[in-house]
Structure 1
Amino acid sequence: MDKIFAANLDEIQSDALLSKTINGNKVLFAKVNGQICAVENRCPHLGLPLAKGKICDGAVVCPFHGSSFDLLDGRNIDWTNAFIGMPMPGWTHKLIALGKSPQSLKTFKVECEDEKVFLIL
């Protein structure tokens, strides 16, 4: 496993996403309840980036289709409930999903040391 410098601790703010590419991995960093976390910057629904999504109650919400994922463990909380950020009625959710089942986000292990954040790959 490699320990790779990712960011300075002060770059990762509460309720904000920090997008970085590290060794070819597109990664989103966030601070949730004081804990630094890292997830893949790719929604498993259609592979679109999550970097412009919002953080809500410790989850990132996909700006395209409304899927939300826990930032600490990557688990899917809600699956495809919007279209380009506009909430849609429940009967459309399966249509928006395009037959894809809910999936979790890939998570990355992080370590903090001397005000620096490292990604473990």
Structure 2
Amino acid sequence: MEKIFVANLDDIETDALLSKNVSGNKVLLSRINGQICAVENRCPHLGLPLAKGKVCDGAVVCPFHGSSFDLLSGENIDWTNAFVGMPMPGWTHKLIALGKSPQPLKTFKVECEGEQIFIYV
């Protein structure tokens, strides 16, 4: 694995998303409960970007189909409950999922050195 500089500490805001392209990897950085985290900027449902999603209680919510993921662990919290940001009734969730099972986000190991943030890719 390669250690690569991605941002400075003051570039990362609490409960916000910063999108970066790092050696061909699309990465989202955030600060959750004081901890810097890095995940792939790609929803595992259909591969759509998460950068325009909202951060809520330490999770990013996909702006397209409502899936949510813990930003620190990548764990899937909720799977396909909306369409283009509009909440949908429970009976439609399996239709929106298109037969895909819930999956976690890919996470990247983060290391801080002074004011600089590095990830391993």
Q: Under TM normalisation by the shorter chain, which class is it?
A: over 0.9
Q: Distance in 1 between matches of 2:68 and 2:42?
A: 12
1:92-111 equivalences in 2 (<5 Å): 92-111=92-111
Q: Structure 1: which 5+ runs fail to align?
A: none
Number of equivalenced pairs: 121
Unaligned runs of at least 5 residues, structure 2: none
CA distance in 1, matches of 2:53, 2:106: 16
- Structure-2 residue corresponding to 1:53: 53
Deviations 1:14-44 (A, max 9, x none): 0110000000000000000000000000000
Following TM superposition, the consecutive aligned residue runs of length 4 or more in structure 1 with deviations greater than 3 angstroms are: none
- How does the TM-score come out when normalised to structure 2? 0.99
TM-score w.r.t. length of structure 1: 0.99
Give runs of aligned pairs for residues 5-16 of structure 1, distance below 5 A: 5-16=5-16
Per the TM alignment, residue 114 of structure 1 is displaced from its structure 2 partner at its CA by 1.2
- Structure 2 residue matching 1:93: 3-state secondary structure: helix
CA displacement, residues 59-80 of structure 1 (integer Å, 9 cap, x when unaligned): 0000000000000000000000
CA RMSD of aligned residues (A): 0.5
Q: 2:43: which partner in 1?
A: 43
Rounded Cα–Cα distance in structure 1 between residues aligned with 2:44 and 2:54: 16
The percent of aligned pairs where both chains have the same amino acid is: 81
